[in-house]
Amino acid sequence: MKCCHNHRLGRLVIADFGAPLFSNIAVVAKAVCYASAAQIDERNSFRYTAAMEWQLAAGLFASNTLAAEYCWRQWERIMHLPRRLAGPIGASRPVLREERTSVRQSGMDDEILLATAV
């Protein structure tokens, strides 16, 4: 007689080990779709859309793979910029902390908002 409990346990083990593998395959497939769309967009003269898709594809591939390197090279070729400038503008700036200070000028109470670097 077969035990249903062991059969379910086997399925759970397969699902537990199979989920990360399936997730990795899905991420790589999405990256390949972005790369393919970038090639099509560049062929149709949508250069900046293609650059955005190359950047998305490079982000989805593992950062130290040849595929990610290829995507970044394509982005650099289209944008004529180094890869380090691909991030958000505010990422390299210091974080600002707000301080409220009361100032008394000519008999009026004003509250000033000061921003100081952390």
Task: Evaluate whether 86 touches 68 at the Cβ level (below 8 Å).
Answer: no
Q: Which of 6-15, 69-78, 87-96 has the lowest mean pLDDT?
A: 6-15
Does a structural domain hold residue 94?
no
End-to-end C-alpha distance for the chain, whole angstroms: 69
Does a structural domain hold residue 14?
yes
Segments forming the whole domain that contains residue 80:
4-85
Q: What is the pLDDT of residue 53?
A: 96
Reported for 57-65, long-range contacts at CB under 8 A and 24+ positions apart, including other chains, are 57/31, 57/32, 60/27, 60/28, 60/30, 60/31, 60/34, 61/28, 61/31
Q: What is the pLDDT of residue 116?
A: 52
Does a structural domain hold residue 48?
yes
Question: pTM surpassing 0.85?
Answer: no
Count up the domains in the chain and report the number: 1
Residues sharing a CB contact under 8 Å with residue 51, sequence separation 6 or more, in sequence order: 38, 74, 75, 78, 79
Q: What is the pLDDT of residue 70?
A: 95
| pLDDT tens profile 35-91 | 999 999 999 999 999 999 999 999 999 878 899 999 999 999 999 999 888 877 665
Question: Does residue 3 have a pLDDT over 50?
Answer: no
